[in-house]
A and B are shown apart, each in its own frame.
Chain A
Amino acid sequence: MKINFHHPAPEKTPRIWRSLRELENDPEFEKHLHTEFPRGADVYQDSGLSKRDFIKLMGASIALAGVGLTGCRRPESYLVPFTKGVEFTIPGKFLYYATSMPARFGAIPLVATTSDGRPTKLEGNPLHPFSNGGTDTFAQAETLNLYDPHRSKQITENGKPSSREAFDAYVASVAQSDGSNLAILTEPSSSPTRARFRAALQTKFPKLVWAEYDPLAPTAANAANEASFGSSVRLVPQFSRADVILAIDSDFLNPIETGIGYAQGFSARRNPEQKGASMNRLYAVENHYTVTGGMADHRLRCKISETGEFARQLGLALAAATNNAALAEVANAFPASQTSIDPAWIKECAADLAKNAGSSIVLAGPMTPAPVQVLVNAINNALGNIGSTLLPVKADLVPAASIEDLAAAIDKGNVKTLFLMGVNPVYNAPANLGFKELLSKVPDTVHLGFFEDETGTASRWHVPAAHFLESWGDCRTFDGTYTSVQPMILPLWNGVSEIEVLNILSGATAPEGPSLVRETFNAIAPQATAESWNAFLRDGFLPESAFQQIQPTFNAATASGLAKKGAPAKADALELVFLQSSSVDDGRYANNSWLLETPDFVTKVTWDNVLMVSPATAVRLGIKTNNFGLLGDVAEKMGNDVNYDLIGDIVELSDGKSTIEAAAIVAPGHADDSLSIALGYGRKGVSALMDGVGFDAYPLRSSNSMRFLDGVTIKVTDRNYPIAQTQEHRSMEGRDLVREGSLERYAKDNAFAQTMGMDSHIPPNISLYTHPELNAKDQWGMTVDLNTCTGCNACVVACQAENNVPVVGKDQVRKNRDMAWIRLDRYFAGDSSDPEMLSHAIMCQHCENAPCETVCPVNATVHSEDGLNLMAYNRCIGTRYCANNCPWKVRRFNYFDYNQRPIDELYWGPLAKKGMADSLKMSKNPNVTVRMRGVMEKCTFCIQRIEEAKISRLVEAGPTPASDTPIAPFKVACQQACPNDSIVFGNIADPKSQVSRMRKDPRGYVMFKYLNVSPRVTYLARIRNPNPKMPGADLVGMANGSGHHGDAHGEHADQGHVDSHSDHHTEPAAH
């Protein structure tokens, strides 16, 4: 790998100097430099140091290190016990508490791991009825948010530091007033405690304007449900009962869109071997590739503006098939428009749905316009899905004023005091409102926020908000289960929670966290006792507190009234679709470097958002990018060194009033004449980390174009923009890394994946190397089920949080120096305009014949007797031979002291600032070494958890034979976070363990079997379930081609089994 150093621009008085003469800017010295190294400057600028230079420099630094070291002694350190023992706390042992993260779709139930009082890891709560114990990426990244050193730390009034007393006094004075000009703008919340305060405040201040705004709120879904079924009705899907699912502009498999628990039951029905039920079938209609689209058996590329027409035609077809007058009425009410949608697709999809009436689900996304949603409700009603696969429940939604209502009230001068609670409308309100100007019309504004952001600086008061791990609260999950939020730590920087402010505003004096929630609990719980309260906190939820199921009737009149408002698609118009960002959500995670560096599911772009455009539209518009294999002359010009200079054309987008800029990349599978951009980027002036990251799309978003803007003009500029992409390559180069087949093929030969490609030709493997025996009783292994892995990234961030994986910054990612221990490779198969997408989780495969181990000159990477490929950091001298010899490219090298240096000062040398913010030190997992510069690292199979489990077993065994005590079950971090239980880890020597059974699944295969490295990670091939009548059905499940290898060489199948090491551990030994 080429080293490419980008030095900062030379300074007049350099801080890093090579000689005194240089320091003095001696002109003679400069001349000397120029003559002796006439081309040296070029070498330094473009292609890095020569090896010779490097060795010279290294020699010098080693000499310096010698001088430095001999003068130092180990510093005195201290053991600091508690003054008084803290209940339950044992130094060095984790404590686990149930809590939950309030989220857009209710809440994500969590178990927080605390170490000496610091929450260090969040995991899903498997006890919770509306969770399988998984989490999403955002929940995993919340620990970094908690310890973010950029959080606001000071109450300010008019930009000057103030105090809590002064603020409390101010709020109390508002509480004393009659509240006639008071308004509160906050986010929608499922918290019953907040609802209680809202009701109390609206009684106390009858004229109070209570407005709720969240840029990605499912407002349209709520409106459609109200028109269809009456107020506050919510549909809870039961995927375990659904045979056919159609997702229209819905990424329901992605927990960041729908929350944990929403899609539960789906993955179990993907198993072709399940008992008593057939494998489900998923249709997706979307404009850009989502993880749901990647999982789909049939996917239709469709402009978002045309999804209404799609739903209309589908509705008409189903109305005819089901003889449902209500559906016909609603579908006919929806305005028709011209589209180029393949009628055969709609016909066959409708036929499949009609065949599975009562056991199908049609879904629309939370932001899909309400007229389309109401049509989807009518379809579900006609199919008889309501009450069978979609359970209607009576939720506790209380209508609130919208941000538009609030804007109108401010405009009329009716608002004199405005509380902005956890919202940032100056940045993300619809552009037509001009919220920044509106805010200046309000004399008294109070902003409660995590950062002193755009709204914070425009407000009179700014108050740091408490993190949900710092405050008491409660919430309801999507199904209504009452769920607790309890603090893990005192507010780090005196943050205040929303309910505390509301409490003072309602006239109470002291803010009392637990009692505020307990009062709500007493009202909700059937038996409010100390025991039930403690159980509520211990388990994290109140059992059987979900919303009541109801049997609503579909109201065709109101539904068709709403459907009439549907907007027909504009012919030949270019549409711009606004997406939830996989990294920053709506912008709230813009300062979270873990998330910024997590690649987008599909584009694999880190640190920026990009404008996605289909290959055909890119050609039509003249957008040149060098992504996704469309490299051409650009790559050639750069010597095919594409890793280092991925660039995208900058385009200007305009709606006639505002113009934004964005870098465009070509996205395979994107709908033509459609553009997509994620929201939440391009923030300025909030923190150094957010500045200059991505492009702000909010200026083009207005109240009537929350999901998409139909009719946008585009101008391609001659400027371009560097993009940091972790995977610019899209093809498997015929190596069958990911394997898939159709259900039909699976029915013929369920072990087809084991004889695919090279695997049908290889002779029996013989190893030249000998190894120490793998003779421990426990042999660790993992399986990844590609059939249920959606590629949602939850495991990636979970691994980062668990294993102290550093963030390297955009510059380093562009040099392929990203550090993620587990990555999700994304492959496209088929035609680039409309390919299939496959996702592939890759972590260290813990090969039994590990190629990395044989090349390490210092034995820094060796094998343990229980089959782990170990990495001893303190031995590693950083030759990187191992990474070079790794077939999976999972080894990560610390080119810099990423933990100790700010990512924008990595090249500043030894004189730059060193050290980590104190708060970030608190976020580290104490059981995992924080690696320094110059060492290799990689997935350890969470060895800290393995060792803890082994040690706990031995502690329990005490002076008895170790083998009498079994190892208690545990999960590794990625497995724990997975919302679909796709990753299984465990002891493969135990034939009864789940991982052993999964490894024996006929779908199981290992990558690069012909290399004879014997990986400990087995993948289960993906099975797609195409509808044979659908157009293009013959191409579904064909990512590996027709698979003639397996058929023609069936006689090799007996050699093809993966469990080749089973003879290695016949003699179990005790630990």
Chain B
Amino acid sequence: MANFFPKWTNWLPLKVVICAGAIVTFLVAGISYYFTPKYTRVGYEPTQPVPFSHVIHVQQLGMDCRYCHSFVEVASHSNIPTTQTCMACHTQIKADSPKLAAVRESWKTGEPVNWVRIHKLPDYTYFNHAVHVNRGVSCYSCHGAVNEMKVVYQHETQSMSWCLDCHRAPENHLRPPSEIYNMAWHPPADTTQRQIGLKFKEEWEVNPPVTCGGCHR
């Protein structure tokens, strides 16, 4: 019988299988990487050089966010406290705690404490803390219930679509100015977040940018 198929077709099924397998593998790997919270690092909870607990400081002691993050209302960057800020209390309280060794070491040597960064926007994105906290957006909206975090982790995706969700509908997050730093705030029982938000949005003329130039420079 004549050869209907040239010889190279012998390997064709195998090649098809290998190629299909490769494509499937790439797709699975790609999707599982880029489409899962792991990519946006929700839940990213690195070990910090000092086991600082927001539960103790905020929940139990009732400290205000701005005691440590002191420039959040004026600067684009919400600063991490200096060693000096820590030592303001910890020369008296828990002055010998082994957990605070790194802070004491920093104070002695002048070398700063290297806190591991959790929330990181890309370099081409310019986020400004001051404008958000001054115009009714609480820390809670982006960072979650930090007051309940023994170790801080990333609570939101902080992806571009997540930013735009709020920029398009800020009423879902606007709060009374007095409650910006209150992590446990809930809308009063007789009203909803949306009603409060819409009221403030109109009153303060809140009109967040949704064009590229609002965040990308």
Q: Which residues of A contact B (CB under 8 A)?
A: 66, 70, 74, 76-85, 90-93, 862-865, 868, 870-875, 927-930, 940, 943-944, 946-947, 951, 954-955, 957-963, 1069-1071
| Nearest chain A CB to B69 CB, angstrom units | 10
Q: In the bound complex, do residue A958 and residue B135 qualify as a contact, i.e. CB atoms below 8 Å apart?
A: yes
Closest residue to A863 on the B side, CB-wise?
B211
CA of A78 to CA of B207 in the docked complex: distance in angstroms?
33
Q: In the bound complex, do residue B216 and residue A929 qualify as a contact, i.e. CB atoms below 8 Å apart?
A: yes
Task: List, in ascending order, chain A residues with CB within 8 A of B185's CB.
Answer: none
Q: Which residue of the partner chain, among A85, A868, A1070, contacts B213 with CB atoms under 8 Å?
A: A868
Q: In the bound complex, do residue A940 and residue B80 qualify as a contact, i.e. CB atoms below 8 Å apart?
A: no
Q: In the bound complex, do residue B217 and residue A962 qualify as a contact, i.e. CB atoms below 8 Å apart?
A: no
Q: In the bound complex, do residue B74 and residue A82 qualify as a contact, i.e. CB atoms below 8 Å apart?
A: no
Q: In the bound complex, do residue B82 and residue A84 qualify as a contact, i.e. CB atoms below 8 Å apart?
A: yes
Q: Which residue of the partner chain, among B71, B73, B85, B217, contacts A929 with CB atoms under 8 Å?
A: B217
Task: List, in ascending order, chain A residues with CB within 8 A of B107's CB.
Answer: 83
Q: Which residue of the partner chain, among A76, A83, A947, A958, contacts B217 with CB atoms under 8 Å?
A: A947
Closest residue to B180 on the A side, CB-wise?
A959
Q: Beyond A91-B77, A927-B126, A1071-B209: 13 further Cβ-contacts under 8 Å?
A: A74-B120, A81-B115, A83-B107, A862-B212, A864-B209, A868-B213, A929-B216, A940-B213, A946-B213, A947-B213, A947-B214, A957-B135, A958-B135
Within 8 A of A (CB), among B23-71: 26, 29-30, 33, 41, 46, 71
The list of the 5 closest CB pairs from A to B, nearest first, reads: A1070-B205, A92-B77, A864-B211, A872-B212, A962-B205
Closest residue to B44 on the A side, CB-wise?
A74
Q: In the bound complex, do residue B204 and residue A960 qualify as a contact, i.e. CB atoms below 8 Å apart?
A: yes
Q: In the bound complex, do residue B117 and residue A78 qualify as a contact, i.e. CB atoms below 8 Å apart?
A: yes
Q: In the bound complex, do residue A865 and residue B211 qualify as a contact, i.e. CB atoms below 8 Å apart?
A: yes
Q: In the bound complex, do residue A929 and residue B124 qualify as a contact, i.e. CB atoms below 8 Å apart?
A: yes
**A92-B76, A963-B205 are known contacts. Are A955 and B130 too (CB-CB below 8 A)?**
yes
User: B111 on the interface (CB 8 Å rule)?
Assistant: yes
CA of A875 to CA of B71 in the docked complex: distance in angstroms?
32
Task: List, in ascending order, chain B residues with CB within 8 A of A865's CB.
Answer: 211
Q: In the bound complex, do residue B120 and residue A1071 qualify as a contact, i.e. CB atoms below 8 Å apart?
A: no
User: B192 on the interface (CB 8 Å rule)?
Assistant: no
CA of A870 to CA of B106 in the docked complex: distance in angstroms?
44
Q: In the bound complex, do residue A79 and residue B115 qualify as a contact, i.e. CB atoms below 8 Å apart?
A: yes
Q: In the bound complex, do residue A1070 and residue B207 qualify as a contact, i.e. CB atoms below 8 Å apart?
A: yes
Q: Which residue of the partner chain, among A66, A81, A960, contacts B82 with CB atoms under 8 Å?
A: A81
Size of the chain B interface, CB-CB below 8 angstroms: 54
Closest residue to B109 on the A side, CB-wise?
A83
CA of A1028 to CA of B110 in the docked complex: distance in angstroms?
74
Q: In the bound complex, do residue B213 and residue A84 qualify as a contact, i.e. CB atoms below 8 Å apart?
A: no
CA of A81 to CA of B200 in the docked complex: distance in angstroms?
35
Task: List, in ascending order, chain B residues with CB within 8 A of A875's CB.
Answer: 212
Q: In the bound complex, do residue A83 and residue B213 qualify as a contact, i.e. CB atoms below 8 Å apart?
A: no
Q: Chain B 97-138, CB within 8 Å of chain A: the 1/0 string?
A: 000000000110011111111001011101010110011100
Within 8 A of A (CB), among B66-95: 71, 73-77, 79-85
**A84-B83, A93-B75, A951-B130 are known contacts. Are A76 and B213 too (CB-CB below 8 A)?**
no
Q: Which residues of B contact A (CB under 8 A)?
A: 26, 29-30, 33, 41, 46, 71, 73-77, 79-85, 106-107, 110-117, 120, 122-124, 126, 128, 130-131, 134-136, 177, 200, 203-207, 209, 211-214, 216-217
Closest residue to A951 on the B side, CB-wise?
B131
Q: Which residue of the partner chain, among B85, B117, B211, B213, contacts A77 with CB atoms under 8 Å?
A: B117
Task: List, in ascending order, chain A residues with CB within 8 A of B200's CB.
Answer: 959
Q: In the bound complex, do residue A78 and residue B205 qualify as a contact, i.e. CB atoms below 8 Å apart?
A: no
CA of A943 to CA of B126 in the docked complex: distance in angstroms?
11
Q: In the bound complex, do residue A928 and residue B75 qualify as a contact, i.e. CB atoms below 8 Å apart?
A: no
CA of A80 to CA of B112 in the docked complex: distance in angstroms?
6
Task: List, in ascending order, chain A residues with CB within 8 A of B33's CB.
Answer: 70
| Nearest chain A CB to B19 CB, angstrom units | 14
Q: Is the interface of A mostly helix, strand, loop or mixed?
A: loop
Q: In the bound complex, do residue B120 and residue A81 qualify as a contact, i.e. CB atoms below 8 Å apart?
A: no
Task: List, in ascending order, chain A residues with CB within 8 A of B81's CB.
Answer: 81
**A77-B117, A862-B211, A947-B214 are known contacts. Are A961 and B111 too (CB-CB below 8 A)?**
no
Q: In the bound complex, do residue B115 and residue A959 qualify as a contact, i.e. CB atoms below 8 Å apart?
A: no
Q: List 6 A-B contacts (CB under 8 A).
A: A79-B116, A80-B80, A93-B74, A928-B217, A957-B135, A962-B207
Q: In the bound complex, do residue B76 and residue A962 qualify as a contact, i.e. CB atoms below 8 Å apart?
A: no
Q: In the bound complex, do residue B82 and residue A85 qualify as a contact, i.e. CB atoms below 8 Å apart?
A: yes
Task: List, in ascending order, chain B residues with CB within 8 A of A81's CB.
Answer: 79-83, 112-113, 115
Q: Which residue of the partner chain, among B41, B115, B212, contacts A78 with CB atoms under 8 Å?
A: B115
CA of A274 to CA of B111 in the docked complex: distance in angstroms?
61
CA of A871 to CA of B217 in the docked complex: distance in angstroms?
8
Q: In the bound complex, do residue B75 and residue A92 qualify as a contact, i.e. CB atoms below 8 Å apart?
A: yes
CA of A954 to CA of B177 in the docked complex: distance in angstroms?
14
Q: In the bound complex, do residue A947 and residue B126 qualify as a contact, i.e. CB atoms below 8 Å apart?
A: yes
Task: List, in ascending order, chain B residues with CB within 8 A of A74's CB.
Answer: 41, 120
Q: In the bound complex, do residue A76 and residue B29 qualify as a contact, i.e. CB atoms below 8 Å apart?
A: no
Q: In the bound complex, do residue B217 and residue A940 qualify as a contact, i.e. CB atoms below 8 Å apart?
A: yes
**A84-B84, A929-B124 are known contacts. Are A870 and B211 too (CB-CB below 8 A)?**
yes
Task: List, in ascending order, chain A residues with CB within 8 A of B80's CB.
Answer: 79-81
CA of A214 to CA of B110 in the docked complex: distance in angstroms?
45
| Nearest chain B CB to A239 CB, angstrom units | 38
Q: In the bound complex, do residue A83 and residue B122 qualify as a contact, i.e. CB atoms below 8 Å apart?
A: no
Q: In the bound complex, do residue B211 and residue A959 qualify as a contact, i.e. CB atoms below 8 Å apart?
A: no
Closest residue to B110 on the A side, CB-wise?
A83
Closest residue to B208 on the A side, CB-wise?
A1071
| Nearest chain A CB to B214 CB, angstrom units | 7
Task: List, in ascending order, chain A residues with CB within 8 A of B131's CB.
Answer: 951, 954-955
Task: List, in ascending order, chain A residues with CB within 8 A of B116's CB.
Answer: 76-79
**A83-B107, A955-B131 are known contacts. Are A874 and B124 too (CB-CB below 8 A)?**
yes
Closest residue to B85 on the A side, CB-wise?
A85
Q: In the bound complex, do residue A93 and residue B123 qualify as a contact, i.e. CB atoms below 8 Å apart?
A: no
Closest residue to A958 on the B side, CB-wise?
B134
Q: In the bound complex, do residue B136 and residue A91 qualify as a contact, i.e. CB atoms below 8 Å apart?
A: no
Q: Which residue of the partner chain, among B77, B204, B217, contacts A944 with CB atoms under 8 Å?
A: B217
B84, B123, B205, B206 interface centre (most CB from chain A within 10 Å): B205
| Nearest chain B CB to A296 CB, angstrom units | 40
**A76-B46, A958-B177, A1071-B207 are known contacts. Are A864 and B213 too (CB-CB below 8 A)?**
yes
| Nearest chain A CB to B41 CB, angstrom units | 7
Q: Which residue of the partner chain, among B75, B128, B203, B212, contacts A90 with CB atoms under 8 Å?
A: B75
| Nearest chain A CB to B154 CB, angstrom units | 11
| Nearest chain B CB to A452 CB, angstrom units | 33
Q: In the bound complex, do residue B136 and residue A961 qualify as a contact, i.e. CB atoms below 8 Å apart?
A: no
Q: Which residue of the partner chain, among B71, B114, B206, contacts A92 with CB atoms under 8 Å?
A: B71
Task: List, in ascending order, chain A residues with CB within 8 A of B83's CB.
Answer: 81-84
| Nearest chain B CB to A852 CB, angstrom units | 14
CA of A754 to CA of B123 in the docked complex: distance in angstroms?
44
| Nearest chain B CB to A937 CB, angstrom units | 11
Task: List, in ascending order, chain B residues with CB within 8 A of A77's CB.
Answer: 116-117, 120
| Nearest chain A CB to B215 CB, angstrom units | 9
| Nearest chain B CB to A76 CB, angstrom units | 6
CA of A1069 to CA of B76 in the docked complex: distance in angstroms?
24
Q: In the bound complex, do residue B204 and residue A962 qualify as a contact, i.e. CB atoms below 8 Å apart?
A: yes
Task: List, in ascending order, chain B residues with CB within 8 A of A873's CB.
Answer: 124, 216
Q: In the bound complex, do residue B203 and residue A83 qualify as a contact, i.e. CB atoms below 8 Å apart?
A: no
CA of A74 to CA of B33 in the docked complex: distance in angstroms?
12
Task: List, in ascending order, chain A residues with CB within 8 A of B29's CB.
Answer: 70
A862, A864, A963 interface centre (most CB from chain B within 10 Å): A864
Task: List, in ascending order, chain B residues with CB within 8 A of A78's CB.
Answer: 114-117
Task: List, in ascending order, chain B residues with CB within 8 A of A1070's CB.
Answer: 205-207
CA of A947 to CA of B214 in the docked complex: distance in angstroms?
7
CA of A946 to CA of B29 in the docked complex: distance in angstroms?
42
CA of A35 to CA of B143 in the docked complex: distance in angstroms?
64
CA of A963 to CA of B203 in the docked complex: distance in angstroms?
11
Q: In the bound complex, do residue B74 and residue A954 qualify as a contact, i.e. CB atoms below 8 Å apart?
A: no
CA of A872 to CA of B216 in the docked complex: distance in angstroms?
6
**A81-B82, A962-B205 are known contacts. Are A943 and B213 too (CB-CB below 8 A)?**
yes
Q: In the bound complex, do residue B134 and residue A82 qualify as a contact, i.e. CB atoms below 8 Å apart?
A: no
CA of A62 to CA of B82 in the docked complex: distance in angstroms?
44
Task: List, in ascending order, chain A residues with CB within 8 A of B214's CB.
Answer: 864, 947
